[in-house]
Structure 1
Amino acid sequence: MSNTLYITGAGVSSASGIPTFRGEDGFWTIGSNNYTPQEMATRAMYQHNPAEFLAWYYKRFVTYRNHGPNGAHFWLADKNLITQNIDGLDGKAGNQNYISIHGRIDEVTLFHEQGPVVERFKAPWHEVDEQNLKASLLDIFKISKHGPELNMSLKPYVLLFDEFYTELYQISEAQERMFEADKMVFMGTSFSVNITQMALEIARQNQIPIEIVDPNPAHVMHSQATYHQMTALEYIEKIA
């Protein structure tokens, strides 16, 4: 029985109206008035300027929380899946066993030292007063004028640039799925993050064939790579 592992990126959610990361209006293209996205999306920014961090996170990610899944998410609903996306659309489409390796916008945790697995809570975005955004976010996330407090303040359940993969993000299970796969299909990803590089290295070491699905596919060093220059929806229609 074949065991195909699907690894998806922002391109899969673009048909749902959610920007990709490096396009003209991409998440990693547009920052705040004073900081680049790479400066904003850090644990350091959350700790030292939580109002700025939370307002940016809310405007760039949380405003898309009510978008719905598209045909690609529904097709992936019964597949072995690791997604880099935090939009939660795979869960909305019905996948009960996918790994959201970078977190989810609909959940938060207590602010904690990295390492242990901690409880995840439903994010209280419905309580936000957008007319007083920063003050409202600081209040909801239990952050005082002294900044976030360990095991007291809330933190978005999202892996930031200066953080590392831990069991909270199911990294061991993700690696196990990579080693057990007999094929990997990468959909809508630029291969610019650690998890795709990790998967690619495992595929090379274990001679696991891969497929790359993207309108502008990144070419990788792997002798058993097949490229599909198309969107995820076009690929699904092609193989259906």
Structure 2
Amino acid sequence: MTKTDKTLYITGAGVSAESGIPTFRGEDGFWTIGSRNYTPQQMATRDMYMHNPGEFLKWYYNRFATYRHHGPNKVHHWLADKTLITQNIDGLDGKAGNPDYISIHGRLDEVTLFHHQGDDVERIRAPWDEVDDANLESSLLELFKIGKHGPILNESLKPYVLLFDEYYTELYEISRAQQQMLDAEKMVFMGTSFSVNITNMALEIARHNNIPVEVVDPNPTHILHSQVEYFAMTAQEYISR
């Protein structure tokens, strides 16, 4: 982003679809496919991680970690010098060279110690490449240092991902994200269904500060705002106009 550009870009799963990563609510979306016994909304919770860590880690590995080697597309490269908050955990914006983007829901390639929410913990590299697929559950439990009684506080590992029953903390850079929203002179939402708290937070600030908004999506969600322009197209079509 140049010094005079005050545009904030907020991206969702639609931006990574061209990289071969499913969206969340499409036909093959992450939130349409769960496990044998649980829905995705039940799987992606701190409660599931704590009480059924083997099932949680297998689902997370199969639905997310299998995409860890995918590469960025033209949109990620176009966004590399922009002020960016992404809802995506795929890390493709980092691979595209954006040095300072906010991954507000976490990063697939990182884990933390299992901790009380709000604690200051380090982000470390995820051990996905060490997983033994032939013994998936036992391998994951061993790598994540989870004992027979479940995760151990400040000892076991937890994927660096914001789960449904968790809340935004400084681990996910929520204060910096809010400041970027307050500083913005325009917000551009790309490939998002406006179904998560961070987009609602941004829209509330846009309304309060009368900030112009652009919504980029093949089927854009219509929002309540006096200054909104819709672009019924993919993010790649938007950047190629």
Q: TM-score range by the shorter chain?
A: over 0.9
Q: Distance in 2 between matches of 1:189 and 1:70?
A: 17
Q: CA deviation at 1:78?
A: 0.2
Q: Which residue of 2 aligns with 1:71?
A: 74
Counterpart residue type for residue 88 of structure 2:
N
Among 165, 168, 184, the residue aligned to 1:165:
168
Q: CA deviation at 1:117?
A: 2.3
Q: Is structure 2 residue 25 aligned with structure 1 residue 22?
A: yes
The secondary structure found in structure 2 opposite 1:28 is: helix
Q: Which residue of 2 aligns with 1:81?
A: 84
Mapping 1:103-182, distance limit 5 Å: 103-182=106-185
Q: CA deviation at 1:2?
A: 3.2
Q: Distance in 1 between matches of 2:232 and 2:108?
A: 29
Counterpart residue type for residue 157 of structure 2:
L
Q: Distance in 1 between matches of 2:139 and 2:149?
A: 16
Q: Which residue of 1 aligns with 2:214?
A: 211
Counterpart residue type for residue 189 of structure 1:
T
Counterpart residue type for residue 71 of structure 1:
K
The secondary structure found in structure 2 opposite 1:15 is: helix
Among 192, 197, 208, the residue aligned to 2:195:
192
- How big is the alpha-carbon RMSD for the aligned residues of Structure 1 and Structure 2? 0.4
Q: CA deviation at 1:116?
A: 1.9
| Structure 2, unaligned runs of 5 or more | none
The secondary structure found in structure 1 opposite 2:100 is: coil
Q: Which residue of 1 aligns with 2:64?
A: 61
Q: CA deviation at 1:177?
A: 0.1
Q: Is structure 2 residue 3 aligned with structure 1 residue 12?
A: no
CA deviations on 1:24-83 (whole Å, 9 max, x unpaired) are 110000000100000000000000000000000000000000000000000000000000
Q: What is the TM-score when the length of structure 2 is the normalising length?
A: 0.98
Q: Distance in 1 between matches of 2:128 and 2:93?
A: 20
Q: Is structure 2 residue 114 aligned with structure 1 residue 100?
A: no
How many positions carry a matched residue from both structures? 238
Counterpart residue type for residue 122 of structure 1:
R
* Structure 1 consecutive aligned stretches of length 4 or more whose deviation exceeds 6 Å: none
| Structure 1, unaligned runs of 5 or more | none
Q: Which residue of 1 aligns with 2:37?
A: 34
Q: CA deviation at 1:165?
A: 0.1
Percent same amino acid among aligned pairs? 75
